[in-house]
Amino acid sequence: METVGQAYPATFEVDRADRITNWRPLVQWLLAIPHFLILYGLQIMARAVAVISWFAIVFTGKMPEGLATLQCLYIRYSNRAVTYAGFLREEYPPFAFDTIAPDPGNYPPVRTGFAPELDDRNRLTVGFRIILAIPQLIVLAVLGIAAFVAWVIGGFAVLFTGRWPEGLRTFVVGYMRWFTRLEAYVGLLTDAYPPFSLE
């Protein structure tokens, strides 16, 4: 099991699969299409919630809990869909829409948990959140290209051996972990700036 340090208020963990059935890289992304259709709608909702949250925090210094848990739902659902489509796990993710911050545990091999900050928010950093996130977005865009290449190579490795190469898998999971923290930051779940780290 790979674990995120608990210091950041957004965590992502994926249990390592001992073996992935060889044909999975060929079709698993197709089997994930229903999840990606739902995810598209959830993404639109999450972006709207982020805008509403921005106004709420800038004017009141607080984030409504209902808006925070909707963001948690979106990020958690995204991680489950991508983990499955990227053949890191074989178990089909549930169509679960739990609007709670801690991971509800209904997809045990993939866990995404949050500790959203609701009160006493930093209005200044929220006001300039998109600008503050630019360095993170640039680094993650570059790492995203590398992660895509790692996924392709990992796909061929799984196709022929049934196993992810350890270094590639660690890098891909680390990229997803970093992306989770950035989504939580941009989605206004926290004022803590995400570390430039795959750990």
Closest listed residue to residue 181, CA positions, set 139, 136, 130, 144: 136
Distance between CA 189 and CA 116 in Å, rounded?
5
pLDDT of residue 3 exceeding 60? no
Beta strand residue intervals within the chain, DSSP E: 10-14, 110-114
Any idea where the domains of the chain sit in the sequence? 10-186
Give the confidence band of 5 by pLDDT, cuts at 50, 70, 90.
Answer: very low
pLDDT digits (tens, 9 = 90+) for 132-145: 999 999 999 999 99
Q: Which amino acid, residue 146? A: A
What pLDDT sits at residue 41?
97
Q: Which amino acid, residue 108? A: P
pLDDT digits (tens, 9 = 90+) for 9-47: 999 999 999 899 999 999 999 999 999 999 999 999 999
Task: Provide the percentage of residues in the chain whose pLDDT is more than 90.
Answer: 95
* Tokens of residue 32, six digits: 């994930």
pLDDT of residue 1 exceeding 70? no
Closest listed residue to residue 44, CA positions, set 15, 5, 14, 77: 77
* Tokens of residue 75, six digits: 């990020």
Closest listed residue to residue 144, CA positions, set 182, 180, 175: 175
**How high does pLDDT run on average in the chain?**
93
| For residues 80-87, average pLDDT | 96
pLDDT digits (tens, 9 = 90+) for 162-177: 999 999 999 999 999 9
